[in-house]
Structure formats: C-alpha cells, structure tokens
Amino acid sequence: MSATLSDADLPLAGIRVIEFTHMVMGPTAGVVLADLGADVVKVEPVGGDHTRNLLGSGAGYFPMFNRNKRSICLDLKNEAGLAAARRLIEGADVVIENFRPGALEKMGLGPDSFKDSNPGLVYCSAKGFLAGPYGHRTALDEVTQMMGGLAYMTGPPGRPLRAGSSVVDITGGMFGAIAILAALQRRQKTGKGGAVKCSLFETTAFLVGQHMAQQAVTGVPTAPMPVRVSAWAIYDVFETAHADEQLFVGVVTDSQWQTFCKLFDLGDIGNNPDFAANNQRVLARDQILPVVRALFTSKSRSELVETLERAGLPFAPIAKPGDLFDDPHLNAEGGLVPITLKDGSVAHMPALPLEFDGQRSGIRHDVPQAGVDGVDVLVEAGYSAEEMSALRAAGALG
C-alpha cells in the first residue's frame, strides 16, 4: 500500500469546519474537506443525526460520508446549545449547512449573523435550488434527477430511471467543496469570507448539459441513453461464453479500430475501406456488431480481458458495487480505507480519488460515535468545566 499523507502535510491542515448537515449532499462537501485535512466538526442533534439509523438504500450514507470528522451533539432549540453553536462558528473558517431554506437564519446562525464577529468565515449552504422561482421548493436527489432530465436520459423511453447512485447529492456536495476552496483562496487576497451556495437542481442541469449541447448542435431532441445513437461503432456491453460474465468494450479511434480488427482476426471487416473512418463505422453498426457479438460469445471473459489489456484497448468487466471490496487495484495503493461500522465491524470504503505527489489521504478519525468529541470541541472553544456542566444540566449537550 502506498504511503498516506501525514496530518501536517494534508493541504487543508489548520482549517476548521463546522458542519450542520444530514443525509448526503452536505456531508459529502464535509468529507471532501475532511479527507483533505480540515478539522471538520459535525454538529448533530442530541441523540445523533437521524441519518445514522436509515435502513435500506440509506444504510450506507452515514458511514460513507462522515469519516475523518469529529462529532458534538447540541440541542439548537435550547438557548444554551444555540449559544454553543454560535461560539463554534465564531472560531471557524468554514460552515457547511443543508437545513431547509431559512432555518438557520431564524436561529441566528445564518451567514449575516457572523459578518462582524467572524468576517473571514466562508459559509456554504447546500440546497435544492439556487436563486429563482423554485427556490422555495423542497428537493431531493431523485426529485431533481426527474425534473432535470437525468432520469429521462438514464431509463429507456417512457420509463425514467434514477441513476444507480446518489449522483446529484454527491456531485452537488463536490461543487460545494469547490466553492468553499475558491472562497478560501479569495480570502487569502481580501481577508474576507463570504456566502457560497450549491444546489441539486443546477447540478443536475450541469450533468445533462452535454445532452442539451447535443440537441443544440444537431437540432434533434436527445434520445435516452439505452436507445441513443452511439458516437462509436463498438461501445457496448457484450455477452461472453459464460452468460453471467458480461464485458464492456469501447473502440473510439481509427487506430484502435485497426488494432481491434488485427487482434481478433476480423480481416474482411478491418480491410473494408467503407469502415475506415469512425463515422462510417457508426452508420454500419448493424453490419459490424453481429460479427463482434458472435466472436465474443465464443470466448471466455478472462480470455477477452487478457487480450484487450495486452493490446491497450478500453474494456471493463461488468461489476457490482460489492465486487469492489476485493478489487486488486483499489486494495493495492490505498484506494480503500478502513472504517468502523455501528456494529463494531470494519469495512473498507473508497478513499478520496486524488493523489498529492503520489500519496493518498487516509483515515485520521474513524466514523465518530454521536457526540463523542463534544468535550474536546468545547474545550477548544474556550468552555470551562463548569460551563460544560451547565450545558449538560440544561439538556443542551448530548
């Protein structure tokens, strides 16, 4: 396994983040900063973030997006808990929140409340929509996938289908992290922070922008991906000799096409001048694909993988998420990091997909138990033992 960066060498070491988030988008912004070295303090309600206890497809949200963070539980409906939250924000570089619009402002925890006491604060709000007629609406990842055209593009005609991951939540959180980093860089020049905002709907629009551009260029409405006209003749999932071992192969340049034809002895097709250029091959997919499909079903996937890898052609065995736990590439160089689950077992989750000078960020703090770091966080904020006792007595500290 490759070495991981030391705490001091992480690029955001020394940046303090206070996070008021739940579910996925806000926590994603926080975990990106945390993995990059920021001290991220997650403020949870007394009893813990409800995301910790989700079932079904939500069961992995908390462990995936809350590593490398510390946790404090405060009751923000209690004046003492609210005062503690204010003090934490006044000592922070960054705030991240994804409460419903206006909720933190009503508590006196909005960005305008800290312009004088913490003028360098970068305040990131993760919402459903940016400014506009939809700004008052409640949004979810799936809501914006539907209204933003992504579900239409993912499913077959007439059957909109959400993508197989919380892709808008996650990407929206990444845009939030980008905005925070840009605002911190601006602060280096001006000394002032500011309010930044990321959103689900506009993120979805950005993701489908390529399809909007396609329609603008061609003048033809974009077809859903399952029935699209491919940009390449071979860019498909193929059956192999074993029906449960499928393989994706993409041949996307004219030189790759020549290599592919020589590799699999497709002489008549490879030597046909009518197939020399990519666009010619796209128009001839109905002639080319049956030949390639018949060839692939005569060979095992392992044989095809070995041949394609040796030739340097793009390919991918079709995998399930659970297959990645044992992926040799992810396991070789720190691509998976260990976290402890609620039941005490250890699982290995994808690391931040970045390297700095050949090194990866790793785990500095395991997924925190609810409120486990509360005392340390309050001591760092200047609280005395008596003040913390008073917080507990008031039911404001979990």
Residue 162 in tokens: 């959400």
Does the CA dihedral 265-267-273-274 come out positive or negative? negative
Q: Along the 398 residues of the chain, how does pLDDT read in single tens digits? A: 457 888 889 999 999 999 999 999 999 999 999 999 999 999 999 999 999 999 999 999 999 999 999 999 999 999 999 999 999 999 999 999 999 999 999 999 999 999 999 999 999 999 999 999 999 999 999 999 999 999 999 999 999 999 999 999 999 999 999 999 999 999 999 999 999 999 999 999 999 999 999 999 999 999 999 998 899 999 999 999 998 999 999 999 999 999 999 999 998 898 999 999 999 999 999 999 999 999 999 999 999 999 999 999 999 999 999 999 999 999 999 999 999 999 999 999 999 999 999 999 999 999 999 999 999 999 999 999 999 999 999 999 99
Q: Are 134 and 201 in contact (CB under 8 A)?
A: yes
Strand 234-238 relative to strand 122-127, pairing: unpaired
And the tokens for 303?
């044989």
User: For residue 1, what pLDDT is reported?
Assistant: 43
DSSP 110-168: SGGGGTTT-TT-EEEEEES--SSTTTTS---HHHHHHHTTHHHHHSPTT-----SS-HH
Q: Hey, how many other C-beta atoms are within 10 angstroms of the C-beta on 101?
A: 14
- Positive or negative, the CA dihedral 315, 321, 326, 329 is positive
| Domains within the chain, CATH numbers bracketed | 7-208+333-393 (3.40.50.10540), 230-321 (3.30.1540.10)
pLDDT, residue 2, reads 56
356 forms beta bridges with 359
Looking at the chain, list the stretches that DSSP marks H as alpha helix, in order from N- to C-terminal side: 25-35, 61-65, 79-90, 103-106, 141-147, 150-154, 167-190, 200-207, 209-218, 254-263, 267-270, 278-283, 285-296, 301-311, 328-332, 374-380, 385-393
As a whole number of angstroms, the distance between CA 140 and CA 286 comes to 40
Residues in the chain: 398
- What is the distance between the alpha carbons of residues 130 and 332, in angstroms, rounded to a whole number? 41
Neighbours of 300 (CB within 10 A): 14
SS3 for 46? Answer: coil
The closest of 20, 175, 183 to 100, measured between CA atoms, is 20
